[in-house]
Amino acid sequence: MPKHTCIAALASVLLVVGCAKTKTGPRHREREPGRDTECKDGARPRAFFYPAENRIDYKPDDPHKDGCELLVPDHLFCCPDVHRPDDR
C-alpha cells in the first residue's frame, strides 16, 4: 500500500474517533416546571424527572433520599422546593 494511502487512512480513523460522541457524565434529575401543577402536596411542590435505566435503580440522584414522592405519572416525582447546582 502506498505511504500516502496509509496516512490518509490513519487520518480518517483519527477524525472519526475524535468526532465520536464521548460518554457524558451521569444524568442528574431534571426539572419539569410545566408539571408542577400536578404536585398537590404543599411540602413537595416541584416536579422532577429522575433518570433510571430500569425504572427502579435511580442514579446518581435518588428521589427517595431527596424527599420526593412518585405522585405524577411517567416517573415524575414531586419534590421539596430545594435547588441543587447539578439540577438540569
In a domain, 34, yes or no: yes
Tens digit of pLDDT for each residue in 4-54? Answer: 554 555 555 444 444 544 456 668 899 999 999 999 999 999 999 998 878
In a domain, 59, yes or no: yes
Coil, strand, or helix at residue 18?
Answer: helix
**What does the pLDDT read at residue 83?**
79
In a domain, 12, yes or no: no
pTM for the model stands at 0.65
Counting the structural domains of the chain, the total is 1
In a domain, 4, yes or no: no
Tens digit of pLDDT for each residue in 49-81? Answer: 998 878 778 888 999 999 999 976 667 899 999
**What does the pLDDT read at residue 54?**
80
Q: How far apart are CA 88 and CA 82, in angstroms?
A: 13
In a domain, 46, yes or no: yes
**Burial (Cβ within 10 Å: 0-12, 13-18, ≥19) of residue 45:** middle
* Domain housing 40: 25-88
**What does the pLDDT read at residue 73?**
64
